[in-house]
A and B are shown apart, each in its own frame.
Chain A
Amino acid sequence: MSSVSEIEYTKKSIPAPLRNAGFVLLAVGLVLSLLGIFTDPQRSAFNNIILLMMLISVSVGSLFLISLEYIAGAVWSTPFRRIFEHLASIVLVLPIVALPILFNLHDVFHWMHQEVMDADPILQSKAPYLNETFFLVRVGFYFAVWILFYFLLTSNSKKQDKTKDQKLTKRNITISAIFLPVFALTISFAAIDFMMSLEPHWFSTIFGVYYFSGTVLASLSAGTFIMVYLSKKNLLFKGISEDHYYSFGALLFAFINFWAYIAFSQFLLIWYANLPEETVWFLQRWEGSWMYISILTIIVHFAVPYFGLLSQPSKMNPKRLASMSLWIIFAHYLDLYWIVMPTFSESGFVFGWIEIGYFILGLGIIISVFVFKASKGNLIPIGDPKLKRGINFRL
């Protein structure tokens, strides 16, 4: 193999439009969400959960994609791994985003009220898991584990930029192998704790997988959008080919189908069995105007991106990729909104400036954290032994 030093990479600053867009979105989002906290604290707390899950999706999902690359020995994604490493740094702000929820736990989680717990034998039997202390311990554990693995994975990768030591790749493979099962458990339990426990009577064994499918979609589409944007501005490397775009498009397409598969599996099993304790969750989402949101989720999250990325040329087209990945980020937000908000407003959906504010805040955090990290570090892992092969990757 050709040596690493052949790659020409000069660090350039992140273009101002992206930097400014991130800053403006962050500022507007912060103002709107703070206003929301003062005017309607309960609604804001529910929105905060959506925001938190959205950021977990993008950041922890990126960690998953990074470790997947190491485990699978993937070559095509190596030049873009640094994008996902920068996105994964959002794990560092997760505790701050989670903080307002922790102050508002009783507004959001029905089961945290002692009098509700006492009156309900079903909830009492779940009390060993659903209690405030254990909940806080778990949440702390998730954040600690994610941040730990973020540092383990990215510090090795950053060190490699200077030392070009191949052993670091090997060490990261080991770390990834440990991280993947940890990721599977933490992401499932985080989904259960933050979203399934909003309706403590209801349960679905596939719920963790369902959230995972959205997680990968969100992080992958965020990465895809940034990849297209940066390569258009010539910030990545020379010679990005259709085969690179196609790989991103195919992976996105695969996970759109995976999400639909899992979402439909969850629905079909509950619909078929027709058990009252399971159907209540879907009935709630079919009640009143929630029905339109349910149908909209199917269209936005499955039908549009499915046909948008179905053909081979559309997967190779960077413009289509960029628009579709933005669309999927919005679809993931809609999906989370559909999961979380019916608990807050049972009769029909509510969508106002608070929801918009939190969505804007989410976009602002993603872009700003990425810009902040990317302006400090390199945009491609210049020391990686697979980089040259990754750049020359052809299908």
Chain B
Amino acid sequence: MDNKTLYSYTALFRTPDEIIHAAEAVQEKGYVKYDVNTPYPVHGMDKAMKLKPSRLPFVSMFFGFSGTFFSLFMMYWMASIDYPVIVGGKPFFSFPAYVPIMFELTVLSAAVMTVIVMLAVFFKLPNLRHPFHDTDYMKAVSSDQYGISIEAEDEKFNEEEIKALFEELGAHKIEPIYFDDEEYTFKQTVFEPKFISLLVIVGLLVSGTTYFSLNKLMNMIPFNWMRFQSKVITQEESTFFSDGFGMRMPVKGTVAREHIPYLYADKPEEAAVNLVNPLPVTKANLELGHTKFNIFCSPCHGYFGEGDSRLRGQFPNPPSLHSEKVRNWKDGRIYHVLMEGQNSMPSYASQLNYNERWAVILYIRVLQRSLNAKETDL
């Protein structure tokens, strides 16, 4: 008992009026390191203890405004910079729509951070080794009594004087509080075998039961990352349609995007009469035709359309594109060949799109002109 160090002297009172009176008296005597413990905030206590106004409101204000500006910046960045999407015909940065969220985040961050800062910084919690732990004094003030404690560190601390003061004030129980040496000198370490093994056991238990109950009992695949959704996927069967297929044929008359239907299948002469090259002779179009010709046409027709294939006789060489016949063909007739193929040449409709076909025809005309130039070209 004697080798214990004293932490404070405490007194218990039964009414809030008594505790306010006691606090005033202790304050008047000039004690500095004392504190009052009550089951609920007693009104007028801060005045009795002459406490300075708390600085907690500034914490609230700081985090409140940081919530305001953070949310404003967040929404501005998301809606105007990172992923601009027009919503309801409003501008990307539409401030009025942000105000409710700014308000909410102001309140949220102010409230949460006030509580966290209050507990962690102002109250210095968690504190596992306070001398008040497990004392009768603490039990009393947490249920129905009002206590005051003067710490031994106070400069004016004197056991006899304080005892007399408390008795004079009418305390019904006066009690010294000692440091619990065992608790105070106890050092917690993270790598304690007990603690580590407990962690391992808890980890195994949680993951094991989760795995067993979800995977084995409920046949749920953990973390399926949206692999299984209630939608029809390609090649999947469906009970919704009467024929059991998940995939549907497009509605009759459906035209794919950028698809231009070809109306002259097996009608080369009509194609020659009706189709006109829609592309103007521009450098860009000629270059497109050049590229595509070299990729798709030149392997058989040769780079200059002379039928000098690079296939070295593996296929019969095609006729020259510079023949009288081809030179006199209308653009539409050549287009027909590109669409339908001719003799052993297959259709190139799927390799070349609409513009590329006409660009290739432009380039063929250029090639023809280069070998059979008119007099006016000179």
Q: Roughly how many angstroms separate A368 CA and B135 CA in the complex, as a whole number?
A: 66
Is B100 in contact with A268, judged by CB distance below 8 angstroms?
yes
Is A394 in contact with B43, judged by CB distance below 8 angstroms?
yes
- List A residues 236-293 near B (Cβ within 8 Å): 264, 267-268, 271-272, 274
Contact with B along A383-395 (1 / 0, CB 8 A): 0000000000011
Expressed in whole angstroms, the minimum distance between the Cβ of A265 and any Cβ of chain B is 9
Contact A313/B53 with A272-B97, A274-B89 known, Cβ cut-off 8 Å: yes
Q: Roughly how many angstroms separate A312 CA and B54 CA in the complex, as a whole number?
A: 11
Q: Roughly how many angstroms separate A272 CA and B97 CA in the complex, as a whole number?
A: 8
Expressed in whole angstroms, the minimum distance between the Cβ of A30 and any Cβ of chain B is 42
Contact with A along B89-125 (1 / 0, CB 8 A): 1000000110110000000000000000000000000
Interface size for chain A: under 10, 10 to 19, 20 to 34, or 35 or more residues? 10 to 19
Q: Roughly how many angstroms separate A272 CA and B99 CA in the complex, as a whole number?
A: 12
Is A264 in contact with B43, judged by CB distance below 8 angstroms?
no
Q: Roughly how many angstroms separate A395 CA and B53 CA in the complex, as a whole number?
A: 15
Q: Roughly how many angstroms separate A272 CA and B88 CA in the complex, as a whole number?
A: 8
Is B96 in contact with A267, judged by CB distance below 8 angstroms?
yes
Contact A268/B43 with A312-B53, A312-B57, A313-B53 known, Cβ cut-off 8 Å: no
B interface, by DSSP: helix, strand, loop or mixed? helix
Which listed residue, A271, A272, A313, A395, touches B43 by the CB 8 Å rule? Answer: A395
Is B96 in contact with A268, judged by CB distance below 8 angstroms?
yes
Among the interface residues B43, B53, B96, which one has the most CB atoms of the partner chain A within 10 A? Answer: B96
Q: Roughly how many angstroms separate A274 CA and B96 CA in the complex, as a whole number?
A: 13
Chain B residues in 8 Å Cβ range of A394:
43-44
Q: Roughly how many angstroms separate A312 CA and B55 CA in the complex, as a whole number?
A: 11
Chain B residues in 8 Å Cβ range of A271:
96
- List B residues 51-81 near A (Cβ within 8 Å): 53, 57, 61
Chain B residues in 8 Å Cβ range of A395:
43
Q: Roughly how many angstroms separate A268 CA and B103 CA in the complex, as a whole number?
A: 13
Q: Roughly how many angstroms separate A271 CA and B57 CA in the complex, as a whole number?
A: 34
Is B88 in contact with A268, judged by CB distance below 8 angstroms?
no
Chain A residues in 8 Å Cβ range of B43:
394-395
Which listed residue, A268, A310, A311, A312, touches B99 by the CB 8 Å rule? Answer: A268
Q: Roughly how many angstroms separate A306 CA and B89 CA in the complex, as a whole number?
A: 33
Q: Roughly how many angstroms separate A394 CA and B42 CA in the complex, as a whole number?
A: 12
Chain A residues in 8 Å Cβ range of B61:
310
Expressed in whole angstroms, the minimum distance between the Cβ of A75 and any Cβ of chain B is 14
Chain A residues in 8 Å Cβ range of B88:
272, 274
Chain B residues in 8 Å Cβ range of A311:
57
Q: Roughly how many angstroms separate A313 CA and B55 CA in the complex, as a whole number?
A: 12
Is B97 in contact with A264, judged by CB distance below 8 angstroms?
no
Expressed in whole angstroms, the minimum distance between the Cβ of A369 and any Cβ of chain B is 38
Shortest Cβ distance from A268 into B: residue? B96
Shortest Cβ distance from B100 into A: residue? A268
Q: Roughly how many angstroms separate A274 CA and B90 CA in the complex, as a whole number?
A: 10
Q: Roughly how many angstroms separate A395 CA and B61 CA in the complex, as a whole number?
A: 22
Q: Roughly how many angstroms separate A229 CA and B100 CA in the complex, as a whole number?
A: 38
Expressed in whole angstroms, the minimum distance between the Cβ of B62 and any Cβ of chain A is 13
Shortest Cβ distance from B44 into A: residue? A394
Shortest Cβ distance from B94 into A: residue? A271
Shortest Cβ distance from B99 into A: residue? A264
Q: Roughly how many angstroms separate A311 CA and B64 CA in the complex, as a whole number?
A: 14
Q: Roughly how many angstroms separate A395 CA and B44 CA in the complex, as a whole number?
A: 8
Chain A residues in 8 Å Cβ range of B99:
264, 268
Expressed in whole angstroms, the minimum distance between the Cβ of B51 and any Cβ of chain A is 13
Shortest Cβ distance from A264 into B: residue? B99
Chain A residues in 8 Å Cβ range of B57:
311-312
Chain B residues in 8 Å Cβ range of A268:
96-97, 99-100
Contact with B along A303-345 (1 / 0, CB 8 A): 0000000111100000000000000000000000000000000
Q: Roughly how many angstroms separate A295 CA and B14 CA in the complex, as a whole number?
A: 57
Expressed in whole angstroms, the minimum distance between the Cβ of B214 and any Cβ of chain A is 43
Chain A residues in 8 Å Cβ range of B53:
312-313
Q: Roughly how many angstroms separate A394 CA and B16 CA in the complex, as a whole number?
A: 15
Q: Roughly how many angstroms separate A268 CA and B53 CA in the complex, as a whole number?
A: 38
Chain A residues in 8 Å Cβ range of B89:
274
Q: Roughly how many angstroms separate A312 CA and B46 CA in the complex, as a whole number?
A: 15
Chain A residues in 8 Å Cβ range of B44:
394
Q: Roughly how many angstroms separate A313 CA and B100 CA in the complex, as a whole number?
A: 28
Shortest Cβ distance from B47 into A: residue? A394
Q: Roughly how many angstroms separate A274 CA and B100 CA in the complex, as a whole number?
A: 18
Q: Roughly how many angstroms separate A184 CA and B88 CA in the complex, as a whole number?
A: 35
Chain B residues in 8 Å Cβ range of A272:
88, 96-97
Expressed in whole angstroms, the minimum distance between the Cβ of B54 and any Cβ of chain A is 9
Expressed in whole angstroms, the minimum distance between the Cβ of B217 and any Cβ of chain A is 48
Chain B residues in 8 Å Cβ range of A267:
96
Q: Roughly how many angstroms separate A1 CA and B6 CA in the complex, as a whole number?
A: 45
Expressed in whole angstroms, the minimum distance between the Cβ of A253 and any Cβ of chain B is 13
- List A residues 356-395 near B (Cβ within 8 Å): 394-395
Expressed in whole angstroms, the minimum distance between the Cβ of B179 and any Cβ of chain A is 38
Q: Roughly how many angstroms separate A313 CA and B88 CA in the complex, as a whole number?
A: 45
Expressed in whole angstroms, the minimum distance between the Cβ of B70 and any Cβ of chain A is 20
Q: Roughly how many angstroms separate A268 CA and B97 CA in the complex, as a whole number?
A: 7
Expressed in whole angstroms, the minimum distance between the Cβ of B41 and any Cβ of chain A is 11
Q: Roughly how many angstroms separate A274 CA and B94 CA in the complex, as a whole number?
A: 13
Expressed in whole angstroms, the minimum distance between the Cβ of B24 and any Cβ of chain A is 15
Chain A residues in 8 Å Cβ range of B96:
264, 267-268, 271-272
Q: Roughly how many angstroms separate A395 CA and B42 CA in the complex, as a whole number?
A: 11
Expressed in whole angstroms, the minimum distance between the Cβ of A282 and any Cβ of chain B is 11
Shortest Cβ distance from A311 into B: residue? B57
Q: Roughly how many angstroms separate A264 CA and B96 CA in the complex, as a whole number?
A: 9
Shortest Cβ distance from B54 into A: residue? A312
Shortest Cβ distance from A271 into B: residue? B96
Q: Roughly how many angstroms separate A267 CA and B43 CA in the complex, as a whole number?
A: 42
Expressed in whole angstroms, the minimum distance between the Cβ of B331 and any Cβ of chain A is 51
Shortest Cβ distance from B87 into A: residue? A272
Q: Roughly how many angstroms separate A271 CA and B97 CA in the complex, as a whole number?
A: 9
Expressed in whole angstroms, the minimum distance between the Cβ of B107 and any Cβ of chain A is 12
Expressed in whole angstroms, the minimum distance between the Cβ of A148 and any Cβ of chain B is 40
- List B residues 1-57 near A (Cβ within 8 Å): 43-44, 53, 57
Q: Roughly how many angstroms separate A267 CA and B94 CA in the complex, as a whole number?
A: 13
Chain A residues in 8 Å Cβ range of B100:
268
Q: Roughly how many angstroms separate A316 CA and B100 CA in the complex, as a whole number?
A: 30
Expressed in whole angstroms, the minimum distance between the Cβ of A393 and any Cβ of chain B is 11
Q: Roughly how many angstroms separate A311 CA and B56 CA in the complex, as a whole number?
A: 12
Expressed in whole angstroms, the minimum distance between the Cβ of B50 and any Cβ of chain A is 15
Q: Roughly how many angstroms separate A223 CA and B226 CA in the complex, as a whole number?
A: 62
Q: Can you name 14 A-B residue pairings with CB atoms under 8 Å?
A: A264-B96, A264-B99, A267-B96, A268-B96, A268-B97, A268-B99, A271-B96, A272-B96, A272-B97, A274-B89, A310-B61, A312-B53, A312-B57, A394-B44
Extra contacts besides A274-B89, A312-B57 (13): CB < 8 Å: A264-B96, A267-B96, A268-B96, A268-B97, A271-B96, A272-B96, A272-B97, A274-B88, A311-B57, A313-B53, A394-B43, A394-B44, A395-B43
